[in-house]
Structure 1
Amino acid sequence: MIISARNQLKGKIESIQEGAVNAVVVLKTSGGEVISATISMSAVKELELAGGREAIAVIKSTEVMTGVGDLKISARNQLDGEILKVEDGAVNAIVTLKTNAGSLISSTISRSAVKELGLAAGVKAKAVIKSTSVMIAVE
């Protein structure tokens, strides 16, 4: 599978909480990060997802928020780490964060947000991702 989504975290499915229409799939990466994805029950069945199955959490960089400090928000996925680099564009910047477990997460955010948050290499930050923004892929 070759896709344009920058963030692809490999791991094993730890659990699946099934609902009438959607399910919450919890994937644990080899580094120990836990990623929650809310996907349809039909996708769970079509992909034959089950506990212990290897899978990939796929997240577009435009769906990743970057925060600093103690965040009290509803997003299930908050990965602590440190900013490795900030690549400035005309309007947006690409922020690369190395999580405490060693994964690289890219986020595309506005240049004004980068400035307001004081984001630069070496700054402690969090990658924040709503579970509805996480896709699950299998090979």
Structure 2
Amino acid sequence: MKISARNQFAGTVTAITPGAVNGTVKVDIGGGHHVTASITEEAIADLALRPGDRVTVIVKASDVLIGK
């Protein structure tokens, strides 16, 4: 599969926190860095995500905001 997103990080699922509609998936991308994604419970089930799974985090955003 080819995709246009260039920000791709290989990692390992470290935690999944279920929610009513969306759950959070925490991924260790190495170097002490983690990415947490909020995705639908349906997507978590369809991908059969489990802690320890090797995944690719794909970031596609038109805006990135930082506040202080």
Question: Which whole-Å CA distance do the structure 2 matches of 1:101 and 1:76 have between them?
Answer: 20
Give % identity. 31
Question: Which whole-Å CA distance do the structure 1 matches of 2:55 and 2:25 have between them?
Answer: 11
The amino acid across from 1:120 in the alignment is R
Residue 107 of structure 1: aligned partner? 37
In structure 2, list runs of 5 or more residues that go unmatched: none
Return 98-107 or 78-87, whichever deviates more. Answer: 98-107
Which of 1 and 2 has greater Rg? 1
Residue 74 of structure 1: aligned partner? 4
Residue 90 of structure 1: aligned partner? 20
Question: Which whole-Å CA distance do the structure 1 matches of 2:46 and 2:32 have between them?
Answer: 26
Question: TM (normalized to structure 1)?
Answer: 0.44
In structure 1, list runs of 5 or more residues that go unmatched: 1-70
Question: Which whole-Å CA distance do the structure 1 matches of 2:12 and 2:54 have between them?
Answer: 4
Query: Relative contact order: is structure 1 or structure 2 higher (C-alpha 8 Å, sep ≥ 6)?
Result: 2
The structure-2 alpha-carbon separation of the partners of 1:79 and 1:89, relative to structure 1 and needing over 3 Å to count, comes to same
Question: Which whole-Å CA distance do the structure 1 matches of 2:33 and 2:61 have between them?
Answer: 18
The amino acid across from 2:18 in the alignment is D
Cα deviation code 1:61-87 (max 9, x no counterpart): xxxxxxxxxx52111111110000000
**Would you say 1:124 and 2:54 are equivalent positions?**
yes
Number of matched residues? 68
TM superposition shift of 1:117: 0.6
Q: 1:112 aligns to what SS in structure 2?
A: helix
Report if the CA contact (8 A) 1:76-1:131 is conserved.
no
Q: 2:46 aligns to what SS in structure 1?
A: helix
Question: TM (normalized to structure 2)?
Answer: 0.85
